[in-house]
């Protein structure tokens, strides 16, 4: 990279310090950036003040509002180092000519592996067995430890994009039957070996496990609620590694407490971080049939290398005055007309 193409001075703000991006931080400093790194939960007025003279914003979870962007007169780009863009006011950014990009493909296989691992943990009763081993040293083959085979079971996917298709392939290797509901995938791109369902009402009653793999937007918020959970078998498991807000979480807690479904594995929550007490979902910590993960199914060495590499590429484009590369097919990003160029995903 030709450092002479960069401005003489420039400022980069990175939110969500808890997600370490050491390669990105070091490279930006070597490029000469004034780098401001803010922790999770930074007050809105502090973030607004830091954005006022920033050239680039790197964010992951922080909510970026219209009011924050109004005073960001130098801001050229918002780079989401991750996939979901629901925390960004895209309309406000577009109105101000601020390009918005994400990193859509860095962890597709990684997240599918994590989801399938959690699914296996439910079927094989990892949590209660591990607890017994830790506290008692052994567990005899009593009925309370009886696990289940995956082979012959039916997995339902809500969303059949790249992560969903990877999940389907893994399930097929374990000889599971796979159903999926995704009205946005045309029949011409439907994966072989996956049975298409026209509605959740058609799919959910057939499933021994249900796994969510869709984006969060106005149409999918609370997609899984009391009605949908009631359609599931009381022997079925539920997995969510996508977004907590896809689910009516109060209804999910009630369904688990009432035995309406057999268990759940969750990596994402509407309110993060989770907490042992005082959180709307704190009651789940005490349930042997619930696996709770701290939004880390994406977090592997390989995925983080890909994430940091591509984040730096987008930063370079913004600072060097080049159009930012948008490889996501999300229509909210594809609607941009300023400061971006579109490429089809690999």
**Which of the residues 20, 26, 272, 322 is marked catalytic?**
272
Find, among 260, 210, 270, the residue nearest to 234 by Cα: 260
Per the annotation, the verdict on 243 as an active-site residue is yes
Residues in the chain: 346
Q: How far is CA 218 from CA 69, 97, 222, 223, 245, in A?
A: 22, 23, 9, 10, 10
Dist CA 324 CA 340 (whole Å) = 4
**Which of the residues 295, 310, 314, 317 is marked catalytic?**
295
Q: How far is CA 316 from CA 12, 27, 105, 336, in A?
A: 11, 10, 19, 19
* Tokens describing residue 115: 């989801």
In sequence order, what DSSP letters do the residues of 206-252 get, joined into one string? G-SEEEE----STTTTT-B-HHHHHHS-TT-EEEE-S-GGGB-HHHH
**Which of the residues 113, 243, 245, 308 is marked catalytic?**
243
Dist CA 182 CA 156 (whole Å) = 11
What burial class does residue 246 get, using C-beta atoms within 10 Å of its C-beta: 0-12 exposed, 13-18 middle, 19+ buried? buried
Q: How far is CA 250 from CA 25, 125, 149, 229, in A?
A: 39, 24, 30, 11
Per the annotation, the verdict on 314 as an active-site residue is no
Q: How far is CA 134 from CA 40, 139, 142, in A?
A: 33, 10, 17
Q: If you ran DSSP here, which 8-state letter would residue 322 be given?
A: P
Q: If you ran DSSP here, which 8-state letter would residue 88 be given?
A: B
SS3 call for 52:
coil
* Tokens describing residue 289: 């049939």
Per the annotation, the verdict on 20 as an active-site residue is no
Catalytic residues: 243, 272, 295
């Amino acid at each position: 990279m030709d450092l002479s193409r960069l401005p003489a001075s420039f400022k980069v703000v990175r939110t969500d310090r808890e997600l370490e991006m050491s390669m990105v931080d070091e490279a930006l400093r070597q490029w000469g950036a004034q780098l401001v790194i803010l922790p999770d939960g930074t007050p809105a007025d502090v973030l607004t003040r830091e954005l006022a003279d920033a050239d680039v914003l790197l964010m992951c979870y922080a909510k970026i509002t219209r009011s924050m962007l109004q005073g960001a007169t130098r801001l050229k780009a918002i780079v989401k180092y991750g996939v979901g863009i629901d925390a960004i006011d895209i309309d406000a950014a577009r109105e101000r000519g601020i390009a918005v990009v994400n990193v859509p493909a860095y962890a597709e296989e990684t997240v599918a592996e994590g989801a399938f691992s959690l699914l296996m943990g439910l079927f094989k009763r990892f949590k209660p067995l591990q607890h017994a081993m830790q506290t008692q040293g052994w567990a005899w083959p009593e009925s309370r430890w009886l696990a289940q085979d995956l082979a012959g079971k039916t997995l339902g996917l809500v969303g059949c994009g790249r992560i969903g298709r990877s999940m389907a392939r893994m399930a097929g290797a374990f000889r599971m039957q796979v159903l999926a509901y995704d009205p946005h995938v045309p029949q011409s791109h439907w994966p072989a070996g996956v049975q298409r369902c026209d509605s959740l009402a058609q799919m959910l009653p057939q499933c021994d496990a249900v796994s969510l793999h869709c984006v969060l937007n106005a149409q999918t918020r609370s997609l899984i609620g009391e009605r949908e959970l009631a359609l599931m078998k009381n022997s079925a498991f539920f997995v969510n590694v996508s977004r907590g807000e896809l689910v009516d979480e109060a209804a999910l807690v009630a369904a688990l407490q009432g035995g309406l479904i057999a268990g759940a594995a969750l990596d994402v929550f509407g309110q993060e971080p989770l907490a042992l007490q005082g959180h709307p979902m704190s009651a789940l910590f005490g349930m042997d049939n619930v696996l709770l993960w701290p939004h880390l199914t994406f977090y592997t060495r390989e995925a983080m290398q890909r994430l940091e590499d591509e984040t730096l590429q987008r930063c370079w484009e913004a600072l060097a005055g080049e159009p930012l590369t948008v490889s996501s097919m999300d229509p909210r990003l594809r609607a941009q007309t300023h400061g971006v160029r579109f490429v089809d995903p690999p």
